[in-house]
Structure 1
């Protein structure tokens, strides 16, 4: 029987699972070696409970990184949403910061297999955040809004991802203004309608 996501007990159990995994990652820095059994033992739940919430470890990992990224984005945004170019800059900086931190975990053998899963989950969250902002601020056609959010999210995320893989003595502080300028120009086509 599927769990009801609106049930407070379900939310609390998911929090326990997420927190257990976060603690294990912080201790071990090795995502690959953390098993479902390790997570359930730390969360003080049984495996059946884990699988009632998540189909497998991969579904869990996608949910975990999405949630962590959402939290970091919301912490970077004073009002919990994009309100203009200043908050967009905070979002771009957060993407760079998260990917720099994320890169530290990918140096461990086995962790690289999760890299595409984490990247797609983060890009989706960025896309949803930008689309929500554009929907609130624009009177443009829905197709154009969605396309603009998609292009801008991939542009921001792709630039940050490439930088995180090969920083070549460039700091995020030097990259963020350039990425922000390009992203703002792309977004302006919809925001000005």
Structure 2
């Protein structure tokens, strides 16, 4: 039976599990070597409690990564919304900086978890873009076009940031963000009536 994520007890338990994981990560520096048993032992809960909240370790890690990205977005875009080209630039910059920052902590043993980080980020980007486009798009754009635009733009921003973060010395983050913004703005024009 699914848990009610709005229940304060559920929030506390998830927070306890996340905090235990973060403490273990600070000690071991290796996501791969941290087991569900390690997390539950540290949190002083049983494994059944863990599995009542998360399907498996991968679902837990995706939730943890998504939460990290959400906190970073909240710092940059306090209301998680885009209102103009400046806030769109801020969103793109946040993605680039977040990926670059996290890549420096990715040791080879953790590389298998990179796709989880990327998927978690893409989901957040998609939701932010979809909300903005749904609220601000011209009335002639169909729901399907708005969804597709949010999907393509979210993957475009993320893909550009992933590629750049693998070899950031080739171009400055400012140059990359500027160029991605130009392409993204062009991609948004049909939906935004530009």
Shared fold per TM-score greater than 0.5: yes
- Equivalent pairs, count: 192
How far the C-alpha of 1:8 sits from its partner, in A, is 1.1
Partner of 1:147: 148
Partner of 2:180: 179
Using the alignment, how far apart are the partners of 1:9 and 1:29 within structure 2?
29
Question: In 2 relative to 1, CA 13–179 (structure 1 residues): closer, same or farther, beyond 3 Å?
Answer: same
Equivalent pair of 1:3/1:10 in contact (CA under 8 Å): yes
Question: In 2 relative to 1, CA 134–35 (structure 1 residues): closer, same or farther, beyond 3 Å?
Answer: same
Question: In 2 relative to 1, CA 46–101 (structure 1 residues): closer, same or farther, beyond 3 Å?
Answer: same
Equivalent pair of 2:3/2:52 in contact (CA under 8 Å): yes
Task: Give me the TM-score of the superposition, normalised by structure 1.
Answer: 0.91
Using the alignment, how far apart are the partners of 2:190 and 2:26 within structure 1?
42
How far the C-alpha of 1:13 sits from its partner, in A, is 0.9
Task: Give me the TM-score of the superposition, normalised by structure 2.
Answer: 0.91
Q: Kindly indicate whether residue 111 of structure 2 is the aligned counterpart of residue 112 of structure 1.
A: yes
How far the C-alpha of 1:57 sits from its partner, in A, is 0.3
Using the alignment, how far apart are the partners of 2:40 and 2:169 within structure 1?
41
Using the alignment, how far apart are the partners of 2:42 and 2:172 within structure 1?
37
Unaligned segments of structure 1, at least 5 residues: none
Equivalent pair of 2:82/2:88 in contact (CA under 8 Å): yes
Equivalent pair of 2:80/2:128 in contact (CA under 8 Å): no
Equivalent pair of 1:95/1:157 in contact (CA under 8 Å): yes
